[in-house]
Amino acid sequence: MKINERAPYENGANPKQEQLGKFTTDNNGEFLTTDQGLKINDDQNSLKINDRGPTLLEDFILREKITHFDHERIPERVVHARGSGAHGVFELYKAMGKYTKAKFLNDTSIKTPVFVRFSTVAGFRGSTDLPRDIRGFAVKFYTQEGNYDLVGNNTPVFFIQDATKFPDLIHAVKPEPHNEIPQAASAHDTFWDFISLMPEAMHNIMWLMSDRAIPRSLRMMEGFGIHTFRFINDEGKSHFVKFHWKPLQGVMSLTWDESQRISGKDPDFHRRDLWEAIEEGHYPEWELGVQIVPEEDEHKYDFDLLDATKIIPEEMVPVEIIGKMTLNRNPDNFFAETEQVAFHPGHLVPGIDFTNDPLLQGRLFSYTDTQITRLGGPNFHEIPINKSVPEVTNHQRDGMHRMQINKGKAAYNPNSIGGGCPFQAMISEGGFASYEERIDGAKIRQRSKSFFDHFSQPALFYQSMSDHEKRHIQNAFSFELGKVKIVPIRQRMVNTLLEVNEELANIVADKLGLKAQRLPQPMTDSIPADGSLAHHHSFKNKLPLDSAPSLSMATKTADNIRARRIALLTADGVEDEAFTKVKKQLHDLDAMVMVIAPHHGFVKTASGDEYPVDETFLTGASVVFDAVYIPGGDSLKILSKDAEAVHFVAEAFKHCKPVGGTQESKDFIKMALKGIKLPAAGVSVTGDLQDFVNDLLQHRFWERELMPQVPA
């Protein structure tokens, strides 16, 4: 696939792309005009009296230009402000009519257009891509029946159970109000004060402290709908459903040290990675999976299906793969598409409906409210990226930024003047009808006791981790709580960790100079001001699983190296065959190979051939690559005298990445690793490229963390 080549849409043109095309402009070859279409003769000078005189108020061209500029910025999202987006298609593998009447989940002959926005949660729009944070994963399906938005995250659970606590959560995690520090970080007093008093947050905290919170790439993370939704079939029968996105490029992470270094080297790392992969034809792919539970089985589990802080372990209800999403086109304009796209969990199609999840119910209000504020009024659905493919026909009128021009007198229903149009649709004609559920009870402000098990699933998560993942969680808690200045908050969190895992609590406590203490359960319904009742209304069930392998990332690497970023370290005099062969073979495996050299321009091989240099050691860094390979030749003499080249290799090794080269490069690698004995895990210097590829398939060699650390 050539750069900028658009992927074909089978069975005719992509209907959403055709629609967007009507609004897309290309100014190449055109004259400069005002917003009213007037051709501009001079855009370099404002209208003045003489060449040094005052500017005239009558310069309407200047006023229009400056006024537009002054109003270009819109309010950023309160959360998920920092984002990246891409277009694509969803293909259904098999019809799901047994469970849902949604048309896009029943016709395998069509491709449904989608737009996906990935995002961090806590940081402002200008923050780094690389904080320890939850990532948003929102998908807009442009279906035949209207837009369907699957709004989720890269974790399957949330911090809170009831939407009324959402403002408190965000106020706590945002920069502290007295000095607006720290940016895009949870490692501060207010966040952990809140968390230490909210034991229901412990499950999502375990995910946040795991490697899931620092993904290697947006292309290499799972997505989850979080909530339990309903599927409704043609007979009106309901099934509970949870949605999963499974990346075909594997589930991979960065190390915490890498993420901090990348934030300095390239804070747009995730955004750039997604953009470049699509531009080069390495289209990211995810399979859509569902966990389906019959409605009659709602109460058979030791957890509540309506509790957004709980998962259904895949070992208990397997994920059924039903389709694939491919992102194959970057936006033409970031603001018009990625920034203005408006998602909402209430954008449904017939066959998909809500449950009584109290977090989901509150979100249904919040999303509409915030879109009205951000996008200037209730007509945000008319912005091209948000328009549904079916034409909108209703009696909503007027308001800011109205674009649709409605004819006729009748803007009400029922009417006779307009012949009764537009008509209500019967269910058999595709009309949406909410699921009929009998509800009878008193109005109360309390939660079901089935929501009070706050610790069994966090414990299951930790128990399911590999050894290196456990180490990373221990280190993450120690780092985050080490940034907390108020010692009693640290102590509360350490005490709470005892309810999850004693080993974890004691290791973190030791690093913080504390002793974990299990507090007695409270006997009162009032929480004292000192917050000592952190386990108020909490208990811990015994789950039928001791561990759930599906929760670990250790077995989720891909069986290919598509779009892996490989640094090819070179200098003048590099051996021709080793250089050209490895470059071609890795490229043939769809890896993204970049030539790194001491200088820009071209690098000369031993025979005098020249190849363009992609990055130098000044502008490139090992932290933005997945692996490094060093061909042989006289280039090794130059590299061995270049401290940046030596550091490049040592840093890659420190971060447990594959390091490869020819037999001739062995001495240079040994020098760079300063005393590490070869052979070592993930270091291949046989000259056999397949050995290097096998290391790439493993992605990381975490056992190196237990070795003496090289200075890098």
According to DSSP, the residues that pair with 90 across neighbouring strands are 112, 325
pLDDT: which is higher, 363 or 277: 277
**Local structure of residue 471 (DSSP, 8 states):** H
Instruction: Tell me, yes or no, if 495 is annotated catalytic.
Output: no
Q: What is the pLDDT of residue 1?
A: 30
Q: Active site residue: 14, 80, 239, 379, which one?
A: 80
When pLDDT is cut at 50, 70 and 90, the band that residue 4 belongs to is: very low
Cα 264 to Cα 257: distance, rounded to the nearest angstrom: 11
Cα 587 to Cα 174: distance, rounded to the nearest angstrom: 43
Please write the tens of the pLDDT for every residue from 340-396.
999 999 999 999 999 999 999 888 888 988 999 999 999 999 999 999 999 998 999
Sign, Cα dihedral of 550, 552, 554, 558: positive
Query: In 421-539, where does DSSP find H-type helix?
Result: 456-463, 467-482, 487-497, 502-511
Q: How is residue 479 written in tokens?
A: 């780092």
Q: What percent of the chain lies above the pLDDT cut of 70? A: 96
Q: How is residue 248 written in tokens?
A: 């075909």
Instruction: Using alpha carbons, list the distances in angstroms from residue 396 to 346, 404, 416, 468.
Output: 18, 10, 18, 56
Q: What is the pLDDT of residue 532?
A: 44
Q: Using alpha carbons, select from 175, 208, 207 the residue that is nearest to residue 190.
A: 175
Rounded to an integer, what is the distance from CA 252 to the centroid of its chain?
13
Confidence check: pLDDT of 477 > 80: yes
When pLDDT is cut at 50, 70 and 90, the band that residue 278 belongs to is: very high
Q: Are 341 and 87 in contact (CB under 8 A)?
A: no
Q: How is residue 408 written in tokens?
A: 């006729």
When pLDDT is cut at 50, 70 and 90, the band that residue 522 belongs to is: very low
Confidence check: pLDDT of 526 > 80: no
When pLDDT is cut at 50, 70 and 90, the band that residue 9 belongs to is: low
Average pLDDT of the residues in 216-245: 97
When pLDDT is cut at 50, 70 and 90, the band that residue 83 belongs to is: very high
Q: What is the pLDDT of residue 293?
A: 98
Q: How is residue 39 written in tokens?
A: 């051709």
Confidence check: pLDDT of 547 > 90: yes
Please write the tens of the pLDDT for every residue from 585-636.
999 999 999 999 999 999 999 999 999 999 999 999 999 999 999 999 999 9
Q: Are 642 and 598 in contact (CB under 8 A)?
A: yes
Please write the tens of the pLDDT for every residue from 98-108.
999 999 999 99
What's the mean per-residue pLDDT of the chain? 93
Instruction: Tell me, yes or no, if 233 is annotated catalytic.
Output: no
Cα 530 to Cα 488: distance, rounded to the nearest angstrom: 9
Q: What is the pLDDT of residue 179?
A: 96
When pLDDT is cut at 50, 70 and 90, the band that residue 527 belongs to is: very low
According to DSSP, the residues that pair with 215 across neighbouring strands are 253
pTM above 0.85, yes or no: yes
Confidence check: pLDDT of 191 > 60: yes
Q: Active site residue: 106, 147, 153, 154, which one?
A: 153
Cα 289 to Cα 139: distance, rounded to the nearest angstrom: 14
Q: How is residue 112 written in tokens?
A: 């449904």
Cα 495 to Cα 159: distance, rounded to the nearest angstrom: 19
When pLDDT is cut at 50, 70 and 90, the band that residue 712 belongs to is: confident
Confidence check: pLDDT of 541 > 90: no
Please write the tens of the pLDDT for every residue from 126-169.
999 999 999 999 999 999 999 999 999 999 999 999 999 999 99
| Torsion-angle region of 157 (φ positive above 0: left; ψ -120 to 50: alpha; else: beta) | beta
When pLDDT is cut at 50, 70 and 90, the band that residue 42 belongs to is: very high
Q: Using alpha carbons, select from 335, 342, 409, 349 the residue that is nearest to residue 382.
A: 342
Q: What is the pLDDT of residue 443?
A: 87
Q: What percent of the chain lies above the pLDDT cut of 90? A: 83
The CA dihedral of 144, 232, 434, 419, to the nearest 10 degrees, is 40
Confidence check: pLDDT of 523 > 50: no
Q: Are 349 and 104 in contact (CB under 8 A)?
A: yes
Average pLDDT of the residues in 44-71: 92
Cα 203 to Cα 457: distance, rounded to the nearest angstrom: 6
pLDDT: which is higher, 127 or 1: 127
Q: What is the pLDDT of residue 441?
A: 86
Q: Using alpha carbons, select from 354, 362, 390 the residue that is nearest to residue 227.
A: 354
Instruction: Using alpha carbons, list the distances in angstroms from residue 438 to 205, 356, 441.
Output: 35, 12, 10
Cα 218 to Cα 208: distance, rounded to the nearest angstrom: 16
Cα 606 to Cα 615: distance, rounded to the nearest angstrom: 20
Q: What is the pLDDT of residue 362?
A: 86
With vertex at residue 386, the alpha carbon angle to CA 381 and CA 390, rounded to the nearest 5 degrees, is: 85
**Local structure of residue 5 (DSSP, 8 states):** P
